[in-house]
Amino acid sequence: MKRSGNRLSNQVAIVTGAGQGMGATMAKLIAEEGGQVVVSDINQEKASVIADEISETETQALAVQADVTREEDVKAMVETTIEHYGTISILVNNAGILYPTRIEQITKAEWDRVLEVNLTGTFLCSQMVLKTMKKNRYGRIVNMSSSAGRSVSTLGGAHYTAAKAGVLGLSRALAKEMAPFGITVNAICPGLIDTEMVQAECTPERISAYEASFPIPRLGRPDEVAQLMLFLATDSAYITGASIDINGGDLMI
């Protein structure tokens, strides 16, 4: 991986769930654009692998293990970032889980876990960075919702749809409260993206059927989502509280 630009020079970003998939791709793109990045994941080994790949370039990355549902983990992640880099200017709330369980089979424990990771984790991470961003009077928070949050999930159960819809409401509320401090908050709503999570839930035949049904007949790529994140983390001074679709035309509103 080679550094390709300077759009994020002097910027410090935290990306959660960055040990694989879209999170890893976004962390790498931030580094390629000159940003310093904290690769956060519940799996320390995966986070370290991505951070090491990034650090092979002139941009250094820091791997931090954190469970976004644990307040003490999130606090430690933010404190470690500030100790290491001095500030935080970008937060990408990407950590998430998906279960395909049908509603009558969802246990309360599974319901709680899906909402804790996808929604409560987004809240905790956002809340913890606000003090620094408000002090700097600058910040970019990018929350990963889903087409599920705008309609209903293709793969996930009702708990996933509910959590991702909650992310959209949280993003709007955060955006309204934080706008006076130079902090924008926006949500990305991907459709089916070619990630490990999607591959784990779908057979090749099922993926082919989905692809054939989309106006743009293929799955999205993680790098396409990462480019949208980059735009929101750089050129979005007058965009806040928005929910931006990237789904190949599968959902048009």
* Secondary structure class of 67 (helix, strand, coil): coil
Q: Is 252 exposed, middle or buried (0-12, 13-18, 19+ CB in 10 A)?
A: exposed
Residues near 110 by beta carbon (within 8 Å), at least 6 away in sequence: 99, 101, 159
Active site residue 238: no
Residues 6 or more apart whose Cβ sits within 8 Å of residue 193: 21, 22, 219, 220, 221, 222, 224, 225
Length of the chain: 253
- Side chain identity, residue 226: A
Catalytic position from the list 99, 138, 160, 238: 160
Residue with tokens 């049904």: 213
- Catalogue the E-assigned strands of 68-191: 90-93, 139-144, 183-190
**End-to-end C-alpha distance for the chain, whole angstroms:** 37
Within 10 angstroms of residue 216's Cβ, the number of other Cβ atoms is: 12
Q: How far apart are CA 100 and CA 66, in angstroms?
A: 25
Q: Which residues are identified as catalytic?
A: 160
